[in-house]
Amino acid sequence: MLLKEAVNKKIEYKAQILGLLVSSVLCLVSCVFVGCATIAPPRVAELPIQKFYINNIPYYSLTEICRHFKIDWDYDSFARQISMKKADSEVKLLMDSSVALVNGSPLDIQQPLRMHNGLTVVPAKFRELVIDRFYSRIIPQASGESALGYAIRKVIVDAGHGGHDPGAIGRTGLREKDVNLDIARRLAHLLEAKGIDASMTRSVDKFISLEERAEIANRSKADFFISIHSNSARSARLNGFEVYYITDKINDYSRALTTAQNADLHIEPASFYNTSLNLKATLWDIIYTQSRLRSIIIAQSICQAASRNMGLRILGVKGAPFYVLKGTRIPAVLVEVGFVSHPSEERYLRSGFYRQQLAEAIAEGILNVKGNRSF
Ligand SMILES: [Zn+2]
């Protein structure tokens, strides 16, 4: 017994020496190749809140978090939406979604909000990503670039107006429908070159109704719909670039209810088709909310690219009740590339070179949010 113990101790001792040796070598190697920046990041104090593990990912109870940080919260069980309020900051969360809307700007919380044993739980990272910034009142900026990876594989490019509908007409006669079609063609071409399946609602000068355009997008099962337009204003001084998404001022639930009555959700399992109209409407409501968030992210990314690449005056990312956006069930934006009513912008918009630059900026904006992780 004693001998066995001594042998075991010796083995243990040898193993310890070996372990020490290996770790010193590894440290040396990492110092040489990585550099000796071994200062540990500041530790975030553990919360006195119970953690739940779902698929090895730590979660906290949302009510516990709110109680601990004294944040008012409200759960809309119908829309499955949670609003958290403190001072003048507001965070909105949607069940099963990994996107939070922080003061109107989307933020990736990395894992979705879930129900766990009857509790609403948020990923532990939520504390760092939202609460710490929320609590210290530093509002995170939405990153339209890679932070929110969203797989865009198929895009519908819509050239506004066409045929007997010329759209806006510039002071020297430039027709919006021609500008839109040329930019849309260039954009579709650029996206195709980057491996995105891009199709157009019209590739020639013909009239298509707004209903048809939305229907093309809905039938396509594409990931994203983009409508290209040129602006016009009574004042010849107004110029700039802007991107619209469907406003949240419209009643999503009544829109969802109409959709539920008319459209099939392509969601498995098949038994879903037997579920109630209310449940379908609720699901459509969630899809619409999610689509809007994605639309905002892409819209921001497009504006960033247009500003960075071309130094354009950005009028902003705005919500509006445009029919073509309202009727589209996938993430959708409408880009107003410039004002044909503004003398120099009209002149620029006549140039193929300028239209190519616009198409490139829009394509870059779309590609910047293209990722392999779904929401
Ligand atoms: Zn237009």
Domains annotated on the chain, with CATH? 51-135 (3.30.457.10), 154-368 (3.40.630.40)
Q: Give the Å distance between the CA of 161 and the centre of ligand 1.
A: 6
Q: Note the pLDDT of residue 303.
A: 93
Q: Using alpha carbons, select from 78, 76, 74 the residue that is nearest to residue 62.
A: 74
Q: Give the Å distance between the CA of 199 and the centre of ligand 1.
A: 19
Rounded average pLDDT over 267-274 = 43
Q: Note the pLDDT of residue 367.
A: 92
Check residues 3 and 48 and name the one with the higher pLDDT: 48
Measure the CA–CA gap between 20 and 13, rounded to whole angstroms.
11
Quickly state the pLDDT bin for 262 (edges 50, 70, 90).
low
Rounded average pLDDT over 241-252 = 81
Q: Give the Å distance between the CA of 364 and the centre of ligand 1.
A: 22
Q: Give the Å distance between the CA of 369 and the centre of ligand 1.
A: 25
Q: Note the pLDDT of residue 41.
A: 43
Q: Give the Å distance between the CA of 253 and the centre of ligand 1.
A: 28
pLDDT at 51 over 70: yes
Q: Note the pLDDT of residue 265.
A: 53
Q: Note the pLDDT of residue 69.
A: 82
pLDDT at 222 over 60: yes
Quickly state the pLDDT bin for 275 (edges 50, 70, 90).
low
Measure the CA–CA gap between 214 and 200, rounded to whole angstroms.
12
Q: Give the Å distance between the CA of 368 and the centre of ligand 1.
A: 25
What tokens appear for 271 in the block? 């038994």
What phi and psi, each to the nearest 5 degrees, are found at residue 155? -130, 140
**Cβ distance 72 to 84 under 8 Å?**
yes
Check residues 344 and 94 and name the one with the higher pLDDT: 344
Q: Give the Å distance between the CA of 12 and the centre of ligand 1.
A: 77
Q: Note the pLDDT of residue 147.
A: 36
Count CA atoms within 13 Å of residue 2 on its CB side.
0
Longest dimension (CA), the chain: 103
Quickly count: other Cβ atoms within 10 Å of residue 313's Cβ.
Answer: 14
Q: Give the Å distance between the CA of 348 and the centre of ligand 1.
A: 17
Amino acid residing at 20: L
Contacts (Cβ under 8 Å, ≥6 apart) of 100:
91, 92, 93, 106, 107, 109, 126, 129, 130
Q: Give the Å distance between the CA of 235 and the centre of ligand 1.
A: 17
User: Of 105-109, 271-275, 332-336, 341-345, where does mean pLDDT reach its minimum?
Assistant: 271-275
pLDDT at 202 over 60: yes
Q: Give the Å distance between the CA of 225 and the centre of ligand 1.
A: 15
Contacts (Cβ under 8 Å, ≥6 apart) of 113:
62, 82, 93, 94, 95, 96, 97, 98, 120, 121, 122
Q: Give the Å distance between the CA of 165 and the centre of ligand 1.
A: 10
Quickly state the pLDDT bin for 361 (edges 50, 70, 90).
very high
Q: Give the Å distance between the CA of 231 and the centre of ligand 1.
A: 6
Q: Give the Å distance between the CA of 166 and the centre of ligand 1.
A: 9
Q: Give the Å distance between the CA of 213 and the centre of ligand 1.
A: 13
Amino acid residing at 104: G
Quickly state the pLDDT bin for 349 (edges 50, 70, 90).
very high
H-only helix segments in the chain: 2-34, 62-69, 125-126, 132-135, 176-193, 210-220, 252-262, 277-310, 323-326, 343-350, 352-368
**Cβ distance 65 to 122 under 8 Å?**
yes
- In terms of average pLDDT, the best of 39-53, 90-104, 176-190 is 176-190
Check residues 181 and 98 and name the one with the higher pLDDT: 181
Q: Give the Å distance between the CA of 230 and the centre of ligand 1.
A: 5
Q: Using alpha carbons, select from 162, 174, 161, 227 the residue that is nearest to residue 342.
A: 174
Q: Note the pLDDT of residue 66.
A: 84
Query: Taking CA 258 as the corner, what is the angle to CA 252 and CA 264, rounded to the nearest 5 degrees?
Result: 105
Rounded average pLDDT over 209-227 = 92
What tokens appear for 367 in the block? 């590609």
Encode pLDDT of 116-151 as tens digits.
Answer: 777 788 888 888 888 877 655 433 334 333 334 467
pLDDT at 305 over 80: yes
Q: Give the Å distance between the CA of 208 and the centre of ligand 1.
A: 13
pLDDT at 24 over 50: no
Q: Note the pLDDT of residue 350.
A: 97
Measure the CA–CA gap between 166 and 32, rounded to whole angstroms.
66
Q: Give the Å distance between the CA of 318 and the centre of ligand 1.
A: 15
Check residues 254 and 154 and name the one with the higher pLDDT: 154
**Cβ distance 241 to 312 under 8 Å?**
yes
Amino acid residing at 313: R
Q: Give the Å distance between the CA of 229 and the centre of ligand 1.
A: 4
pLDDT at 83 over 70: yes
Q: Give the Å distance between the CA of 101 and the centre of ligand 1.
A: 29
Q: Note the pLDDT of residue 23.
A: 44
Q: Give the Å distance between the CA of 159 and the centre of ligand 1.
A: 9
Measure the CA–CA gap between 334 and 353, rounded to whole angstroms.
22
Quote the mean pLDDT of the chain: 78
Measure the CA–CA gap between 359 and 366, rounded to whole angstroms.
11
What tokens appear for 306 in the block? 């247009």
Q: Note the pLDDT of residue 278.
A: 67
Quickly state the pLDDT bin for 196 (edges 50, 70, 90).
very high
Q: Give the Å distance between the CA of 133 and the centre of ligand 1.
A: 40
Rounded average pLDDT over 182-210 = 96
**Percentage, residues of the chain above pLDDT 90:** 36
Q: Give the Å distance between the CA of 232 and the centre of ligand 1.
A: 8
**Cβ distance 335 to 228 under 8 Å?**
yes
What tokens appear for 93 in the block? 């969360």
Instruction: Work out the burial of residue 109: count CB atoms within 10 Å of its CB; fewer than 13 is exposed, 13-18 middle, 19 or more buried.
Output: buried
Amino acid residing at 125: K
**Percentage, residues of the chain above pLDDT 70:** 72
Rounded average pLDDT over 177-183 = 98
**CA dist 61 to 99, 108, 118, 256, Å?**
17, 18, 10, 29
